[in-house]
Chain A
Amino acid sequence: MKKLLNRYKFFIILAVINLGLVVIYPSLGKNSLSITWSNTLEMLSVIPPIFILLGLLDVWVQRETMIKLMGEKSGFIGVALAFFLGSAAAGPLYAAFPIAGVLLKKGSKFSNVLIFIGAWSTTKIPMLLFETSAMGWKFMLTRFIIDIPGIALIAYITQKVLHEKEINLIFKKAKNQI
């Protein structure tokens, strides 16, 4: 019980702050509660399938298979697969981190996981369709074309700047997450 309280400490503090807002600034507080509620509903709609897929991936996909597909020597296939996985996603970016954790645990190359995160954040197909309808195809296409080298570059620089020791630590972290 004490452990549970400790883990949720920050959340409880925030909830109290939010309730305080409701008392002091009723319209702002109620507004923030309704936004939180609608975001929670949105999250609950995408979270179950994402985490079920994550669990299945962890149980069924052999480490060797993942290393072959997305590991150190996977080359272009690994990059393409990472990009495709991220682009086909639905849901906010924070839902991508747990999946990234499983990919790392299974032996994906670190830069491929970064490409996956990059694609999830900015070239999601459902979002692109939406972007086109709001901003026009020219805006969407320009952003998409520049985003591809951008994602690759961010992944490359991040990989280069981190020391091998730091990357190994990230892999170790991933092993303990699930």
Chain B
Amino acid sequence: MFTIILYVLAGGLLLLSFLKDKKKTKIALMKAWKSFENILPQFLSILIIIGIMLAVLSPDTISKLIGQQSGCFGMVVAAIVGSITLIPGFVAFPLAAALLKSGAGFMQIAVFISTLMMVGIVTIPLEIKYFGKKAAILRNSLAFIFSFVVALVIGVVLG
């Protein structure tokens, strides 16, 4: 649905641009390709790492890691698993819902989802390319800490 909107938007603007100025449009497309090719090696590497990691850390394994450990230790495990895995949302949320059913706590799930979205250990080389080492490490560390705050709030509201 959103991908379709994205395509319509990009296609429409591209057409508009082409009608207004062919030369500029050509430059725009060249830039699009150049910036894509610029990060293609990292992109491809990330895709393979995710593949290997998710094969090792299958939903079953993740369930075992997060479902069995409760309390603070369980939250730390959930945060670490969430930081290193990169699962698309449409897989992550059903997994989280299943984990809840199988007895994991709201706080562990919240910290898992939050780190999953905000902290990206695998994608850090790409982030460093754009933001430099210090900013990238800083952002990820802060997001990691913040995920525990989210978990506490969720624990209070839903617990």
Chain A residues in the interface with B (C-beta under 8 A): 7-8, 10-11, 14-15, 17-18, 21, 28-29, 31-37, 39-40, 42-43, 45-56, 58-60, 90-94, 97-98, 100-102, 104, 114, 117-118, 121-122, 124-127, 130-131, 133-135, 138-139, 142-143, 146-147, 150, 153-154, 157-158, 161-162, 166, 169-170, 173-174, 177-178
Closest chain B residue to A133, Cβ basis: B93
Q: Are A35 and B43 in contact (CB under 8 A)?
A: no
Complex Cα spacing A48 to B10, Å: 9
Question: In angstroms, how far is the closest chain B Cβ from the Cβ of A89?
Answer: 8
Bound Cα distance A12, B36 (Å): 18
CB neighbours of B97 from chain A (8 A):
134-135
From B47, B134, B146, B154, contact of A150 by CB (8 A) = B146
Q: A100-B130, A146-B153 are in contact. Are A55 and B113 (CB under 8 A)?
A: no
Bound complex: CA of A34 vs CA of B47, how far in Å?
11
Chain A's nearest CB lies how many Å from the CB of B137? 10
Whether B139 contacts A56 by the Cβ 8 Å rule is no
CA distance A15 to B117 in the complex (A): 26
Given contacts A52-B32, A55-B31, A122-B114, contact A39 B50 (CB under 8 A): yes
Nearest CB of B to A99, in Å: 9
User: B131 and A170: CB pair below 8 A?
Assistant: yes
Given A29-B55, A139-B158, 5 more pairs with CB closer than 8 A: A14-B48, A133-B93, A135-B109, A139-B106, A174-B130
Pick the residue among B47, B52, B58 that contacts A17 (CB under 8 A).
B52
Q: A21-B52, A49-B7 are in contact. Are A42 and B39 (CB under 8 A)?
A: no
Q: Which A residues are in CB contact (< 8 Å) with B35? A: 51, 54-55, 98, 101-102, 177-178
CB-defined interface of B23-43 with A at 8 Å, one 1/0 digit per residue? 011011111111110110101
Question: Which residue from chain B places its CB closest to the CB of A167 in the assembled complex?
Answer: B135
Q: Are A173 and B132 in contact (CB under 8 A)?
A: yes
On whether the beta carbons of A93 and B123 are closer than 8 Å, the reply is: yes
Question: What are 12 contact pairs spanning A and B, CB under 8 A?
Answer: A14-B49, A32-B48, A35-B54, A51-B33, A56-B13, A98-B130, A121-B117, A130-B89, A131-B113, A135-B100, A138-B157, A142-B157
| 9 A-B pairs with the lowest CB-CB distances in the bound complex, closest first | A36-B51, A55-B32, A49-B10, A32-B55, A134-B93, A55-B28, A90-B2, A59-B28, A51-B32
Asked whether B46 is an interface residue with its Cβ less than 8 Å from the other chain, the reply is yes
